[in-house]
Amino acid sequence: MRLIIACLAAVVVVGCSQTPTASMKQRVVDENYVAMVENAAQSNSSRVEVIWINPPTQVVAQTDNMKP
């Protein structure tokens, strides 16, 4: 009986610990910065190839047509 109560208490605590927040902001790729870096790499005489592992992001206000 104690085990069941302990398990239920643990489920309640874990379930309440990560409640979603109603944020109206979203992270998107910073297209302007990506384009600037890629243009600079192409105009370089050595023809540097840019491979984005983690592209730069920016925080923008979420609109109705954007999905979270």
Decide if pLDDT at 66 tops 60: no
pLDDT band at 10 (very low <50, low <70, confident <90, very high): confident
Mean pLDDT confidence for 26-40: 92
47 pLDDT more than 70: yes
Q: Please, how many CA atoms are within 13 Å of residue 15, restricted to the half-sphere of its CB? A: 6
